[in-house]
Amino acid sequence: MKKKEKSLTMTHHLLLAQFSHRLLIPIEEIAENYLGMAVATARRKANAYALPFPTIRIGDNQRSPMMVHIDDLVRYIDKQKKEAEMLWMEFQVA
């Protein structure tokens, strides 16, 4: 049985280009632009599992950087876009 190929969205392509084709992005690089919060706040929320997506550490100690998988960031952005479009549509006059 053939495996279904996953096609990348425009969001995937743009984020891959922006982050030099890295799959794991340090929380420091997305905190302000994508989450609208300071790096320290993003780290604190990541430690409390309070961000809208999971974060991981590569390594077993607290000094390992907090990372976000690009797929999780893409899903978050696309979800935010869809919700904004739905809200916008509610306010459009037919």
Residue 13 has a pLDDT of 95
* Mean pLDDT over the full length of the chain: 92
> 43-62 pLDDT, tens per residue?
999 999 999 999 999 888 88
- Residue 67 belongs to what H/E stretch? strand 66-69
- Residue 12 belongs to what H/E stretch? helix 10-18
Residue 3 has a pLDDT of 62
Residue 43 has a pLDDT of 94
Residue 62 has a pLDDT of 82
Predicted TM-score (pTM) of the model is 0.86
Q: Give the residue carrying structure tokens 């739905």.
A: 86
Low-confidence ranges of the chain (pLDDT < 50): none
